[in-house]
Amino acid sequence: MDFTVLSYNTLFGNGQNGLKIIFEKYHPDIVCLQEVNTSESSLQEITKLGYTLADYSNAFIKFNQIYGVATFFNSETFNITSSNSISLPTGFFDVLAYIIRIFKLGRKTRTVLETQFIHNKTGNKVVIANVHFSPFGTNSIRLKQLQKTVKEIASYDNKPTIIAGDFNYPYGRKKLEECMSEFDFEEATNTIFSTVFKLSAYNTIEKILAFFQNFFFRKGAKFDYVFYKNCSVISSETLISTFSDHLPILSRFKFNK
C-alpha cells in the first residue's frame, strides 16, 4: 500500500492559486505547505478543494499578514491522531527581521508542524514534520533547527516518519547529510537537483541576500527536501507550477511489511 506527500512553498500564498490543478491531477494524500497565509479564510479556500486541515503553525509576519506552515490530508486515505508545534532556535538575521517588523504587528516564532496520521485501510501510523527553516543567515542556524526537529521526533523510531519542506539549504550538503544519517533518515529527493529558480525579495535585507543567491545559483538551486525513515520511497518528482519561486515536490512512499 503506497501513499503520496506533496511539499510546496507557496510564496506567501501565491501558490494556492495552482493547488486546484495539482490536486485534481495528482491527488496527494498528505499536503505540506510553507509560506501559507494562515488566516481562517485562506485555509478554508484550500479545504474547499477537498482536503481536510490537519493543523497550522504561524512563523512570521509579512505584508501585514501572518504566514506559516499548514498540513492538509485526504480524509479518504488518512485520519489525524495528533499534532504538535516545535519552536525553533533563532538566528541573528531572524532577530533583525523581527525587529524591523515587531513595531508593526509583533513577533511570531518560527516553528515546525509535527502531525501524526493513521492510514484508514492498513492502520499504519505515519509521522509528518512540515518544516520551513530560516531563510536568513548561514547554514549553522538551519542545522540547529534541523537537529532540534529530528530530536523532537526521535521517539517515534518504529513509525514511518517523513520530514518535508523548505530547508533553505542550497549548499554544504555534507553536514546536512551527516545530521540526517545520524538519525537514520534517507533522502527521498536525491534525484532532484533544483527546486528554486529565482528567489523573491521584498525588503532591503532580502534584496541583498537574494541578489547574491540568485547570482551564484543562476541555473536554480535546491532548497526543498524530503527525508524519510521506516518506510520505502517509490519516487519523487517536481511538478510544474508558475505561481511560486519554488517547485512543488511530490513523493510516493510505501509501508514496509
The answer to whether residue 69 scores a pLDDT higher than 70 is yes
The answer to whether residue 211 scores a pLDDT higher than 70 is no
The answer to whether residue 155 scores a pLDDT higher than 80 is no
How large is the average pLDDT for residues 18-39?
95
The answer to whether residue 93 scores a pLDDT higher than 80 is no
DSSP sequence for 7-43: EEE-TTTGGGGGHHHHHHHH--SEEEEEEEE-SHHHH
In contact, 151 and 185? CB cutoff 8 Å: no
**pLDDT 10s digits, 101-143:** 443 434 456 789 999 999 999 999 999 999 999 887 788 889 9
User: pLDDT at position 79, please?
Assistant: 98
What is the CA 95 to chain-centroid distance, rounded? 21
Q: Is 95 or 15 the better-scoring residue by pLDDT?
A: 15
User: pLDDT at position 167, please?
Assistant: 95
Phi, psi of 227 (to 5 degrees): -120, 155
Q: Is 99 or 247 the better-scoring residue by pLDDT?
A: 247
Q: Given the DSSP bridges, would you call strands 125-132 and 161-166 parallel, antiparallel or unpaired?
A: parallel
Give 210's contacts (C-beta < 8 A, 6+ positions apart): 199, 200, 201
The domain that holds 175 is classified in CATH as 3.60.10.10
The number of domains in the chain is 1
Q: Which domain holds residue 118?
A: 2-255
In 3-state terms, what secondary structure has residue 111? strand
The pTM (predicted TM-score) of the whole model is 0.86
